[in-house]
Amino acid sequence: MKDFEYIQPDSIATATELLAEGDAAWSNVSRRAIAGGQDLFGELKTGIVEVDSLVDLKATGADNTIAVDPSGNLRIGALVKLTDVAELAERGPVASLLAAAALSVASPQIRSQATLGGNLCQRPRCLYYRRPEAICLKKGGDECFAYGGHNKYNAILGGGPSFIVHPSDLAPALVALDAKVTIAGAGGATRELPLADLYTLPSEGDVTRETVLTPSEVLTQVETQLPLVDRMAGTWRSSWQKFRERDGFDFALSAVAMCLRVADRRIVDARVVLGGVAPRPWRSAEAEAALIGQELATHGSAEFDALAVAAGEAALTGAEPLDHNGYKIPLTKGLVRRALQELSR
Amino acid sequence: MGNLNLKINGDHHPVDAPDHWTLLEVLRYRLDLTGSKQGCDKGDCGACTVLVDGKPELACLLLAGASEGREITTIEGLMPAHRAAGGTGADPVQDAFDRAGALQCGFCQPGMMLSTRALLNEEERPSRERIREALSGNLCRCTGYTQIIQAVELAIHETCGEPVEHPAWAPDQAPWGDAVSTVPGRKGTGSSDTTQGEQA
């Protein structure tokens, strides 16, 4: 790694001030925040990112706790390690979905260093983005090399002009749990956003970024807000399905986070969010509409089959595969089916 | 004197190192603790695994400056910790890896053994599935992993004082010879409780 200065600020306010002092151009800031660093070190060591100094958020003493409210929703500090999310006791649909998603991330070593906030703010895994010699759209160039190149791991939904996929597993799970995030910025400013609104598509603005965070902003907290206690009937169930080339220690080729609210075997509310297939966590209103109002039939029945096919088709509405990633369409439909199968038990 | 003060294997090590050095670089190139291997140096292979406050972490993806104030255990510290706790010989995990032939080139072995130690500190009798998951961040390009899993299970059985299952390929042999290490509070499970070739 190129040499840099390592700064340990004593508060988030100091950290965001330090970050604001850095260069404002996102792709070329000389000062970056570091939390677990598991993604950032990869960028620094390959040389696709260079910094003059790193500002360690872990030193700030900011929130690294998990709080469970009586309904079962969770408030998690952005500095919580993925190991601790993965070890959440399987109490209810929120904790079990998050624990399953966290456990599917990388390896035990990386989970004990990686933080929730860092997982949500990961940079793309695209082969071209990660190669220092490929000055692609994401790095300020003028071409997405994946589009006409090797695109087995790239987007089938929401792509263009860049075709990266967002690599986070926690992001689709948390979007399915109606999570909101708290963001701290320079000058003590804080703002809250639905997690879904943290992410942007390449076509929506600055193609070199995946989130709306400014260089001086950091995530501080995530809070799930699944309507667990309201007057609506039924109970929530959740399922996490992730498919990867190796069974351990790999990114998702496709993933499905599904939450269903079921009353008398009828689906009264639904969240379907796809990972690994789009530049952002891909919430599928079409799949949710295909599920809501239907009977959650027993797996093996013709009714279950029809529901799984309809939901899978709906989830892939608008999918446009590139040359090498057409497999993601049947794969994702299969994961939707697996999620429904788990939830129909 | 040094700009860093690291606590490694129970000892305080004042050390001078540039800000951008990882813990792995400080271990290997300042402190000569070369048991932690520099493999891929980017978080893929697990050869640099150390225990930080008891959890397995990658020393190549951890700044030395960020490891101040934390308890670091490297492979060099396993046997001393085992003996300080009243055991004899090497850590039962090291002993089992040795006797089960869980290595060929040995490059992955320190990381493998530290991941195993972290697992066994949390769970006394992890399932094979748990063992495989716990070792999923440690790559071995020689063994095909079979003897590694067998070594972990050997260490579990011997630590718990249970009879050891014979491997399918050696049904008639005493499995992998007798345990050389003993665990405090338990008799060795081999035919002899005497330790061999030990000097305290």
A172 belongs to a structural domain? no
Domain that holds residue A316: 235-343
What is the reported pLDDT for B185? 73
Instruction: Please state whether the peptide bond connecting residue A161 to the residue before it is cis, i.e. omega within 30 degrees of 0.
Output: yes
With bands split at pLDDT 50, 70 and 90, how would you rate the model's confidence at A185?
very high
CA of A110 to nearest chain B CA: how many angstroms apart? 7
What is the reported pLDDT for A65? 96
A16 belongs to a structural domain? no
Computed over every residue of chain B, the mean pLDDT equals: 89
- Domain CATH code at residue A244: 3.30.390.50
Q: Indicate the CATH number of B78-159 among 1.10.760.10, 1.10.30.50, 3.40.47.10, 1.10.150.120.
A: 1.10.150.120
pLDDT in tens, A123-167: 999 999 999 999 999 999 999 999 999 999 999 999 999 999 999
Interface test with B, best of A40, A53, A105, A109 (most B CBs within 10 A): A109
The answer to whether B5 and B12 are in contact (CB under 8 A) is: yes
Q: In chain A, what residues touch B49 (CB-CB under 8 Å)?
A: 109
Cβ-defined contact of A112 to B55 (cutoff 8 Å): yes
Burial track B142-178 (b if 16+ CB lie within 10 A, e otherwise): ebebebbbbbbbbbbbbbeeeebeebeeeeeeebbeb
Q: With pLDDT > 70 as the criterion, what percentage of chain A qualifies?
A: 98
Query: Is residue A31 over pLDDT 80?
Result: yes
Computed over every residue of chain A, the mean pLDDT equals: 95
**What total number of domains does chain A contain?**
1
pLDDT in tens, A38-87: 999 999 999 999 999 999 999 999 989 999 999 999 999 999 999 999 99
Cβ-defined contact of A6 to B61 (cutoff 8 Å): no
- Establish if A250 touches chain B: CB-CB under 8 angstroms: no
CA distance B31 to A280: 44
What ipTM was assigned to the predicted interfaces of this complex? 0.94
Sequence-distant (6+) residues with CB within 8 A of B159 are: B92, B120, B124, B183, B186
The closest CB to that of A38, out of B43, B63, B136, belongs to B43
With bands split at pLDDT 50, 70 and 90, how would you rate the model's confidence at B183?
confident
Query: Is residue B175 over pLDDT 80?
Result: no
Q: In chain B, what residues touch A107 (CB-CB under 8 Å)?
A: 46, 136-138
CA distance A78 to A39: 15
The closest CB to that of A109, out of B18, B56, B63, belongs to B56
- Expressed in angstroms, the distance from the first to the final Cα of chain B is 31
The CA-CA-CA angle for residues B14, B19, B24, to 5°, reads: 70
Which B residues 115-174 touch A at CB under 8 Å?
115, 118, 132-134, 136-138
A268 belongs to a structural domain? yes
Mean pLDDT of A158-182: 98
pLDDT in tens, A208-219: 999 999 989 999
A187's tokens: 């000058």
A25 belongs to a structural domain? no
CA distance B15 to B34: 16
Cβ-defined contact of A107 to B137 (cutoff 8 Å): yes
A56 belongs to a structural domain? no
Q: In chain A, what residues touch B60 (CB-CB under 8 Å)?
A: 41
What is the reported pLDDT for A22? 78
Query: Is residue B83 over pLDDT 50?
Result: yes
Mean pLDDT of A9-37: 84
Query: Is residue B177 over pLDDT 80?
Result: no
Cβ-defined contact of B118 to A108 (cutoff 8 Å): yes
With bands split at pLDDT 50, 70 and 90, how would you rate the model's confidence at B200?
very low
What is the reported pLDDT for B176? 63
Strand order across the A5-7 sheet: A5-7, A53-56, A31-34
pLDDT in tens, B85-121: 999 999 999 999 998 889 999 999 999 999 999 999 9
What is the reported pLDDT for A27? 40
The answer to whether A129 and A141 are in contact (CB under 8 A) is: no
Cβ-defined contact of B65 to A41 (cutoff 8 Å): no
pLDDT in tens, B1-52: 579 999 999 999 999 999 999 999 999 999 999 999 999 999 999 999 999 9
- Establish if B20 touches chain A: CB-CB under 8 angstroms: yes
- Establish if A112 touches chain B: CB-CB under 8 angstroms: yes
Q: With pLDDT > 70 as the criterion, what percentage of chain B qualifies?
A: 86
What is the reported pLDDT for A30? 85
Q: B32: burial class by Cβ within 10 Å (0-12, 13-18, 19+)?
A: exposed
What is the reported pLDDT for B188? 46
A316 belongs to a structural domain? yes
What is the reported pLDDT for B179? 75
The answer to whether B81 and B18 are in contact (CB under 8 A) is: no
What is the reported pLDDT for A33? 96
Query: Is residue B187 over pLDDT 70?
Result: no
| Fold annotation for B4-73 | Ubiquitin-like (UB roll) (3.10.20)
What is the reported pLDDT for B189? 44
Query: Is residue A19 over pLDDT 70?
Result: yes
The closest CB to that of B19, out of A4, A45, A109, belongs to A4
The answer to whether A217 and A183 are in contact (CB under 8 A) is: yes
Mark residue A158 as left, alpha or beta (left: phi above 0; alpha: psi -120 to 50; beta: remaining): left
If residue B113 lies in a helix (H) or strand (E), which one and from where to where? helix B109-122
B182's tokens: 């003993």
